[in-house]
A and B are shown apart, each in its own frame.
Chain A
């Protein structure tokens, strides 16, 4: 079945970077865009951007421009999201989510989430 499995929880100090991985299985990896969405404690969902696994092309939300980098390794069907210069406001659960496009588009499935805690 289609599945996205993310890397484990991370604890980082302010100013540091984090790199979260998302391994896909059960479908053609290069056939679907992958988005990253985060949820800070007690907050709603926030879309960060997407990567086209086939070309490596990316589109980032303006809020994260200059701080986020999304990459992929097609040999192992894995996408990565790296966030730099983190502050406490970046403490959140980070999800990868496959983009499905038919007449419209939606996210399905989602990874299980990776908790990133930024604390001194």
Chain B
């Protein structure tokens, strides 16, 4: 199985901050990497697919990048609604696997 190592596990930040979350795959996954946002009591939501493509309707302050087996989610200027938990996920091969999650707190 492909292991996804996500860091940090938690992050304290303020409105307006720029934050970066990193995910490393245990082997090459090309650009088969997606980012999701989870909020309590709500359906998870895809933010970025194919490593760097912004899902329709997602604010442009979210961006994704890739360098080899390392992937990054960046939020350029945090807004109050961005405080949530974020997960990366590889869709290169089954079983699809997720990172451990990053809880973004105020």
Contact = CB atoms under 8 A, between A and B. Distances in A.
A104 B32 contact: yes
A16 interface: no
Given A104-B31, A104-B32, A110 B43 contact: yes
Interface in A45-102: 45-47, 59, 61-63, 95, 97, 100, 102
Contact of A104 (B49, B87, B99, B101): B49
A105 B43 contact: no
A104 B91 contact: yes
A47 B32 contact: no
A47 B96 contact: yes
User: Interface majority SS on A: helix, strand, loop or mixed?
Assistant: strand
A110 B44 contact: yes
B44 A95 contact: yes
Contacts of A59: 94
Contacts of A61: 94-95
Contacts of B89: 45, 106-107
Interface of B: 30-32, 34, 36, 38, 42-46, 49-50, 55, 87, 89, 91, 94-101
Interface of A: 4, 35, 39, 44-47, 59, 61-63, 95, 97, 100, 102-113
